[in-house]
Amino acid sequence: MRLSVTDTKNAWMESWLEAQQSYWKSWADLARFGAKTPAMPKSPWAEGIDQWWQSLAPLAPPDGRAVFDKLMDMAKGYFGLAERFVTDRADKNDAMEVLNGWLEAMRQSWSAWRPGTAPLTAGNPLKDMMTFWDLPMDTWNRMAANIMPMPGDFTQAFHPEGAALGMGALHEQMNRFLSIPAVGYTREAQEQQQRLGQLAMDYAAATQAYQMAFAKLALETTQKFQRAMLQEAENGKPVGSLREIYDRWVGLAEAAYAEFVMTDEYRALYGRLVNSLLALKAQMARLVDEGLEALHMPTHAEISTLQRRQQELRRENLRLNKTLKGMQEQLTALLAQAPQTPLEKSVKPAAKTIVKPAAKRAAAPKIATRPASAASKSKSGGNKK
């Protein structure tokens, strides 16, 4: 029998699945009995699923690949959670100890996190479960990268030693440096560069403040999660699957998030994040324009002026066309109503004019079709159309 390409792929995937299943079972047995060898990978399940996807991804159609990339990211987190559970369960007396161990690790991680260090969840043993706390900032960085000529997370480079010095002190030093009065022939250019530096610092501070707020929120959510799980246990409804743990975790996180983002604190953080990025981008554009002007090339500002004028001309043209059309229709209607001269009567019978709806209105005494209520309230409104 001849196998098609699809059949071959399917057979290969089934074989992979069987092998993987056997591997997971063996590994779980080893972990359960406390066997640990230097050769054992840190995250065998998550790594296995990742390798599987890396080998198959090139075959995936473009429409589905991005979705599966996200699905695999989630899968790695999920598998990481499973590994953690199996390993910890082997070391601990009961599941309650496992839970407390997890939550303590999270609490310590978030309490210790400081602006200027790696992302919120990096290096954390439970980062797979916690990773979604980075999602808003991660997505923001991707978006920022799309509108800036530099990576979205470039602010990480501004404060490598921030955690050790304290951001306040570092920022103060930098601001002092950037405030040194510029002198000499290139004074204006120096000031522009200093301004750029200050705006970059402002943006870095805004991203840090945003992340700090999420670290605090994550810490609070951890405590809520602990209380919720204990409550479930007391009610005799223990969690029965990893998926259930994950879903409850997400549910609580989403509820905490929804509450937080409606506060004045978040509104200010959000505004600061957006405005500081835009101020930085605007200053970059200004500097680029100066360079373009020096090279006698069209600048962004000049093109923008031309675009505005072109749009104004277009509006005016459309308005004139509409007025002209209305006048033509009025003329047609008037001609149709005008009494004929004796000569016209003798030459041919009166033509029958079909008056279209628009022409009917044009022939009416009121030329403007704008509602009377709107027109009467606007002295300058006139006939806009």
Contact (Cβ atoms closer than 8 angstroms) between residue 202 and residue 280? yes
Query: With the CA atoms of 24, 30, 36 and 38 taken in that order, what torsion angle do they form, in degrees rounded to the nearest 10?
Result: -50
Apex CA 121: angle with CA 118 and CA 169, to 5°?
35
- Name the token pair of 312: 């104004």
- The answer to the question of residue 219 lying near other proteins (CB under 8 A) is no
- The answer to the question of residue 259 lying near other proteins (CB under 8 A) is no
- The answer to the question of residue 154 lying near other proteins (CB under 8 A) is no
- The answer to the question of residue 260 lying near other proteins (CB under 8 A) is no
Of 70-78, 120-128, 177-185, 333-341: span binding other proteins (CB under 8 A): 70-78
- The answer to the question of residue 369 lying near other proteins (CB under 8 A) is yes
d(CA 233, CA 212): 32
Task: Map the footprint of other proteins across residues 12-41, applying CB under 8 A.
Answer: 13-14, 16-17, 20-21, 24-25, 28, 31-32
- The answer to the question of residue 204 lying near other proteins (CB under 8 A) is no
d(CA 125, CA 129): 9
Q: Which residue has the tokens 């470039």?
A: 154
- The answer to the question of residue 107 lying near other proteins (CB under 8 A) is no
Please pick, from the candidates 163, 174, 209, 261, the single residue that binds other proteins as defined by CB under 8 A: 261
- Cα radius of gyration (the chain): 34
- Name the token pair of 87: 């390993």
Shortest reach from residue 361's CB to other proteins, in Å: 8
d(CA 215, CA 220): 9
- Name the token pair of 241: 């699957």
Please pick, from the candidates 110, 113, 132, 210, the single residue that binds other proteins as defined by CB under 8 A: 132
Please pick, from the candidates 37, 94, 339, 352, the single residue that binds other proteins as defined by CB under 8 A: 94
Please pick, from the candidates 219, 287, 336, 375, the single residue that binds other proteins as defined by CB under 8 A: 375
Query: Measured between alpha carbons, how far is residue 129 from residues 4, 124, 134, 261 in Å?
Result: 40, 10, 11, 22
Please pick, from the candidates 123, 188, 189, 267, the single residue that binds other proteins as defined by CB under 8 A: 267
- The answer to the question of residue 92 lying near other proteins (CB under 8 A) is no
Shortest reach from residue 157's CB to other proteins, in Å: 22
- Name the token pair of 334: 């008037």
- Which residue, 90, 89, 133, 92, is CA-closest to 109? 133
Which CB sits closer to other proteins, 278 or 334?
278
The site that binds other proteins (CB under 8 A) totals a number of residues, namely 110
Task: Map the footprint of other proteins across residues 280-339, applying CB under 8 A.
Answer: 281-282, 285, 304, 307-308, 310-312, 315, 318
- The answer to the question of residue 201 lying near other proteins (CB under 8 A) is no
